[in-house]
C-alpha cells in the first residue's frame, strides 16, 4: 500500500472515530428518557440485572465487554452461549419487544463512546461463533471494529444463515468506507421501522 493510501486510510479511520463519538454522545443524551424507561420496565418485569454483559471479540479479536439491555431470564446462560431463535423460550416478554424493535442494543452506544465498538461494522462475535471460520476470514473480519449495525444486520440478520453473515462481514471489512456506512445507517433505520430480521 502506497504512503498516500495509508495516510488516506488513517484519516478515514480518524474521521469515523470522530463521527462515532459525536453521534453516540448525542444519542445517549437524546435517548436518555427512553433508556430510563426501558431500565424501569426490565426491573419491574423480571428478576436480574438491567444490563446484560458478555465478552465479545472486537478489533484484532481483542476481547471486550459488550452491553445490552437484558432480554432473557437470568438463568438463560446456564447451558453456555447459544444461538438464539425468534421464538426462544429464554426471552422475557419485555425482552421480546426490545429485540423486535432493536432497543436492546441501545446500551452499546456506551461501547461506541468508549472505543470498543463503532456505530457501523461487523457484528461482535462470541468466541464459539468463529470456530467455522478459517484464519484468513477471521483476520479480515477482525481488521475493523464491530458495530451496533452492519451489512449483515440490514441484510436479514436472523433470517439469513451463518455462512451469509460471515460473507457479508468479510465484504464490509474489505470494502468499508464512510459512504458505505452512510448507506447502512439509512438501511438500518428502514429495517428497524419495519421490524425485520430481528430475534
Give φ, ψ of 118 to 5 degrees. Answer: -120, 165
> Which pLDDT value is given to residue 100?
86
Phi-psi region of 61 (alpha: psi -120 to 50; beta: other; left: phi over 0): left
Assigned C-alpha cell, 148: 451496533
The pLDDT of 163-192, averaged and rounded, is 87
> Which pLDDT value is given to residue 183?
92
Distance of CA 100 to the CA centre of its chain: 15
Residue 199 has pLDDT above 80, yes or no: no
The CA distance from 86 to 81, in Å, is 16
The pLDDT of 19-40, averaged and rounded, is 97
The CA distance from 189 to 198, in Å, is 13
Find the helix or strand (DSSP H, E) in which 124 lies: none
Residue 7 has pLDDT above 80, yes or no: no
Q: Which residues pair with 147 in a beta bridge?
A: 118
Give the list of residues 6+ apart from residue 108 with CB closer than 8 angstroms, or none: 66, 67, 68, 117, 148
The tens digit of pLDDT for each residue in 86-125 reads: 567 789 999 999 988 889 999 999 999 999 999 999 988 8
The tens digit of pLDDT for each residue in 113-163 reads: 999 999 999 988 887 777 778 888 888 888 999 999 999 888 876 677 878
The tens digit of pLDDT for each residue in 57-86 reads: 999 999 999 999 999 988 766 555 555 555
**In the chain, what are the domain boundaries?**
3-194
The CA distance from 175 to 73, in Å, is 39
Amino acid at each position: 500500500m502506497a504512503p498516500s493510501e495509508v495516510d488516506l486510510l488513517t484519516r478515514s479511520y480518524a474521521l469515523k472515530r470522530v463521527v462515532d463519538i459525536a453521534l453516540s454522545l448525542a444519542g445517549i443524551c437524546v435517548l436518555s428518557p427512553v433508556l430510563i424507561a426501558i431500565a424501569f420496565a426490565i426491573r419491574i418485569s423480571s428478576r436480574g440485572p438491567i444490563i446484560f454483559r458478555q465478552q465479545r471479540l472486537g478489533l484484532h479479536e481483542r476481547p471486550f465487554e459488550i452491553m445490552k439491555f437484558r432480554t432473557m431470564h437470568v438463568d438463560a446462560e446456564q447451558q453456555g452461549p447459544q444461538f438464539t431463535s425468534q421464538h426462544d423460550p429464554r426471552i422475557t416478554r419485555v425482552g421480546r419487544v426490545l429485540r423486535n424493535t432493536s432497543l436492546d442494543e441501545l446500551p452499546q452506544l456506551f461501547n461506541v463512546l468508549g472505543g470498543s465498538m463503532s456505530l457501523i461494522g461487523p457484528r461482535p462475535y462470541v468466541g464459539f461463533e468463529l470456530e467455522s471460520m478459517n484464519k484468513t476470514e477471521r483476520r479480515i473480519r477482525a481488521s475493523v471494529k464491530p458495530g451496533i449495525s452492519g451489512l449483515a444486520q440490514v441484510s436479514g440478520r436472523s433470517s439469513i444463515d451463518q455462512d451469509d453473515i460471515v460473507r457479508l462481514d468479510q465484504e464490509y471489512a474489505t470494502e468499508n468506507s464512510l459512504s458505505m456506512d452512510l448507506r447502512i445507517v439509512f438501511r438500518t433505520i428502514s429495517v428497524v421501522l419495519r421490524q425485520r430480521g430481528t430475534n
